[in-house]
Amino acid sequence: MIMWQMSMKATILILGLVWSFQAALGIRFVIDREECFSHKAEYEGDTLHVSFVVIKSDSQWHFNEDGVDLVV
In the chain, the largest separation of any two C-alpha atoms, in whole Å, equals 72
> What DSSP line would sit under the chain, residue for residue?
-HHHHHHHHHHHHHHHHHHH------------S---------STT--------------TT--SPP------
Asked if residue 39 lies in contact with residue 48, where contact means CB atoms within 8 angstroms, the answer is yes
pTM for the predicted model, two decimal places = 0.27
pLDDT digits (tens, 9 = 90+) for 6-64: 687 888 888 777 777 666 556 555 556 666 666 677 778 777 766 666 666 666 665 56
